[in-house]
Structure 1
Amino acid sequence: MPTTLFKNAALLDPLQSDLGGEHDVLVEGNVIKEVSDRPLQANADQVIDLKGKTLMPGLIDLHVHAVAVELNLAQQVHMPNVLVTLRSTLLLRGMLRRGFTTVRDAGGAGYALKQAIESGLTDGPRLFVSGRALSQTGGHGDMRARSDYLASDSPCPCCVRVGALARVADGVDGVRKAAREELQMGADQIKIMASGGVASPTDPVGAFGYSEDEIRAIVAEAHGRQTYVLAHAYTAEAIARAVRCGVRTIEHGNLVDLPTARLMAEKGAYVVPTLVTYEALANEGAQYGLPPESVAKIADVRDAGLRSLEIYREAGVKMGFGSDLLGPSQRLQSDEFRIRAEIIGPRAAVVSATVIGAEVLGMEGKLGRIVPGAFADLLVVEGNPLRDVACLLGQGEHIPLVMKAGTIQFNKLKA
């Protein structure tokens, strides 16, 4: 099997406070074979000298929407399936170029897109897919506009389009069936809407999502398949309901309070803040077609999201990295590092996108660190992200090499 030897790299271990001294790292096939602070003697297929550069684990984004090719999600539902699919491949390639070698899709992408990447048909990060998110009628995933009535004998328009990130299901029996169908179609985990949201047309941010009985039913179905549920939730009360019902990760969580954060820590729940999306929506949402009713909701959650990081830190809740960007704003993915670093510091921001991401995905020892036996997801970086995250920003300008599973995806290093 092919081998690559990286020599003289300043090694970034997210569990350490600063870079380690020069290390050699041997990659064999798709895994890391050996890591040493002494020179390795190996007859490798290629040897790459990284003197003066940093070698760090590939990044993990726990909240992307690979098929969100437009900011106006209700409009996107009606786009041709092939057009959405082809445009999504460009978004995925951009994520990989920015150093995100693993992403969890939080609604929209299914098994087929994951299969296309794994088979080499298109380039992209390692995908953990949720299929279509589950939403109650009138919830955050219901993109139907207000109308005189909803015909009960017509199929839900959210259930048949590639551009639909969610599907509508109601009642304990209905959500059980919907969860089972998404799992049967290849979902790695299940996403639900546990509160209102910003990008949807008819639900206030403070609205509850599913009833507790419905949430418990979905959690039970996921648990029965040895996986878990992630929940879109903003308010403290909505977060607490979801966590009490067994939800494992809370997405966004902007309006949390300290008692609720402490409940999350007690239950071992994670949070995945997505602060960059509110900055993007505020700055360019209207320009790219975000409906006025959604633009009006942004201010309610944007500033609270910044304060929430300090609340989660005080309560001891583990924070994963998420971006949640839509359409052309997905180019801003790495700016989440900048926003977080200003509040919790650069090292904590890097930890969120490496070891905590690996924990959430159940991939400890395989992702998020440079250790023997881990997947060879490696970035060469010009700079020290533990001190300044600027080298992770942009479109990979300071990341000259990206390796995923032992294969070099991008290489701008000078020979």
Structure 2
Amino acid sequence: MKKSYILVLLALLPLWTMGKGILIKNVVIFDGKSPETITGNIWIAENKIQKISAEPINAGEDVEVIDGHGKFLMPGLIDAHWHAYLAANTMVDLLTAHASYTQLRAGQEAGKTLLRGFTTIRDAGGPVFGLKRAIDEGVITGPRIYPSGAIISETGGHGDFRMVYDLPQPFDCCGLTHTEKIGAALIADGVDAVTVAARNNLRLGASQIKLMAGGGVSSLYDQLEDVQYFEDELHAAVMAANDAGTYVMVHVYVPEAIRRAIQAGVKSIEHGQLIDEPTMKLIAEKGVWLSMQPFIGEGNNHYSTPEQQAKHELVVQGTENAYTLAKKYGVKLAWGTDLLFSPSNARNQNLNIEKMTRWFSNYEILKMITHDNAELLALSGRRNPYPGTLGVIEEGALADLIVVDGNALEDIKVLTDPEKNMLLIMKNGKVYKNNL
């Protein structure tokens, strides 16, 4: 009898000797993976989730206790295609404003992004290495950033922001233009130049490499249907990334360019709204990720010229078909927003979650914007800037979570008003908002 009593005490000992961290009690827990929830308690210490239990967790006196009042707890949101710098600035700012001004705007927007519930973003191109460091060191607040560094583009491609009077020069040869100097985009033509550009981004801390493999909406010089970069140029970037233990993501819309990128070894197709069925089948067969954005309804980017807006409408029209085909073939889907060059539109980041109900159940959406997106980010391998488990609520995972006023599995619209409905926001075990 005495021995049994001692064993019971030993079993309870970890619960009684915590003495640190945060205990969130009485919450409905969605783990990011399963449609089933549990009502229980969660203990966070040393930036990780230490224990989850449906039973009371007996904490020490030094533990901060937060009563969840039966609210909905879930992993922090992940945007797999965000531009932390470009979303905060207009194209005119990018081309003409002093870099210190545009970086301050990016820092301000990073704080707003976190308060929208996004604890992690994959930056799809732009000068964010300093921003990431400032956030990681606690100088400013913001989400975790998986940086790509400067967008790599061919001459006249989607990342060519040079003025018409800027003469093309070999990469790193004869003086860089403004957008190249600030690390927004690099123009690299040929295998050698692409190799140097990719390796330089890795040198600066990129977790993955981003290239422009096709035309774009906001481009100055190309058409939406353009195929960009030869296969050997794309493969050069893939080889550089592979050697560094990571992968390449490419901006692309049309089938021919997507097929070329896959043939070169690219692992993440960004956008893809003009895809055809054989190419979607190829994506599924090769196990390549398709990182799409629900460009329908309000909350999209708005463009200043009729030509750009017309290209955007083609993308919108193709969105329905692309998602339908992706579901048909069971493609690995990621979710992102790609809002850029309109600081006032960045606030619509969460609206793009609700749009997904056109094709997916609430559970499928929640899993995609947490667990699935985290799986894509993990492709960065040893270049992962945040080793650990993201996108889930489980013991041992990094403590990124939000508490929502409303069950998002039943009504996903609660995520579209973060100021009102997100009652608690935690990243890396630290509370950034608490209205409980």
Same fold (TM over 0.5): yes
Alignment of 1:4-403 (within 5 A): 4-18=22-36, 20-43=37-60, 45-69=63-87, 72-73=90-91, 76-146=94-164, 150=168, 155-162=175-182, 165-276=184-295, 279-281=298-300, 285-286=302-303, 290-326=304-340, 327-362=343-378, 366-403=389-426
**Residue 259 of structure 1, CA deviation:** 1.6
- The answer to whether the 8 A contact 2:88-2:346 is kept is no
Question: SS state of the match for residue 53, structure 1?
Answer: strand
Residue 257 to residue 71, structure 1, CA distance change in 2 (3 Å):
farther
Q: Which amino acid is 2:57 matched to?
A: L
Amino acid at match of 1:313: K
Query: 2 CA distance for matches of 1:125 and 1:92?
Result: 7
- Report if the CA contact (8 A) 2:85-2:128 is conserved: no
Structure 1, 144-153 or 225-234: larger mean CA deviation: 144-153
Measured in 1, the distance between the counterparts of 2:298 and 2:400 equals: 29
Large movers: runs of 4+ above 2 Å: 69-75, 144-156, 158-162, 275-282, 290-293
Conserved 8 A contact 2:191-2:233: yes
Alpha-carbon deviations, 1:378-414, whole Å to 9, x = none?
A: 100111212221111034320110000100011112x
Q: Deviations over 1:175-205 (max 9, x none)?
A: 0011111111111110000100011111101
Aligned mates of 1:297, 1:334 — CA distance in 2: 24
- Alignment-derived partner of residue 14 in structure 2: none
Separation in 2 of the partners of 1:330 and 1:175? Answer: 31
Using the TM superposition, give the Cα deviation of residue 155 of structure 1 relative to its aligned residue in structure 2, in angstroms: 2.9
Q: TM-score, normalised on structure 1?
A: 0.92
Secondary structure, aligned partner of 2:279 = helix
For 1:404, the equivalent position in structure 2 comes to 427
Cα shift at 1:125 = 0.3
Q: Which amino acid aligns with 1:399?
A: M
The whole-number CA distance in structure 2 between the counterparts of 1:339 and 1:399 is 19
Q: 1:158 to 1:236 in 2, by over 3 A?
A: farther
Q: CA deviation at 1:296?
A: 2.5
Q: CA deviation at 1:276?
A: 4.3
8 Å CA contact retained: 1:5, 1:24: yes
Say how many residue pairs are matched.
406
How many percent of aligned residue pairs carry the same amino acid?
Answer: 37
8 Å contact kept, 1:3–1:29: yes
Q: What CA RMSD, in Å, does the superposition of the two structures yield over aligned residues?
A: 2.1
8 A Cα contact 1:10 1:51, kept in partner = no
Contact map agreement 2:162 2:179 (CA 8 A) in 1: no
Shift of 1:261: 1.4
Q: Distance in 1 between matches of 2:315 and 2:32?
A: 30
CA contact (8 A) 1:346 1:388 kept: yes
CA distance in 2, matches of 1:273, 1:53: 30
In structure 2, the CA distance between the partners of 1:405 and 1:71, relative to structure 1 (3 Å rule), is closer
- Per the TM alignment, residue 293 of structure 1 is displaced from its structure 2 partner at its CA by 3.0
SS at the partner of 2:312?
helix
CA contact (8 A) 2:404 2:422 kept: yes
Aligned to 2:382: none
Q: Is the 8 A contact 2:295 2:315 kept in 1?
A: no
Once the 2 structures are TM-superposed, how far is the Cα of residue 159 of structure 1 from its aligned partner?
A: 4.5
- CA separation of 1:368 and 1:69: change in aligned 2, threshold 3 A: closer
The answer (yes or no) to whether the contact 1:262–1:315 under 8 Å persists in 2 is yes
Distance of aligned partners of 1:219 and 1:243 in 2 relative to their CA distance in 1, 3 Å threshold: same
Give distance in 1, aligned partners of 2:167 and 2:127. 30
Among 10, 14, 21, which residue is 1:3 paired with?
Answer: 21
- 1:400 match: secondary structure: strand
Contact kept, 8 Å, 1:133 with 1:141, in 2: the verdict is yes
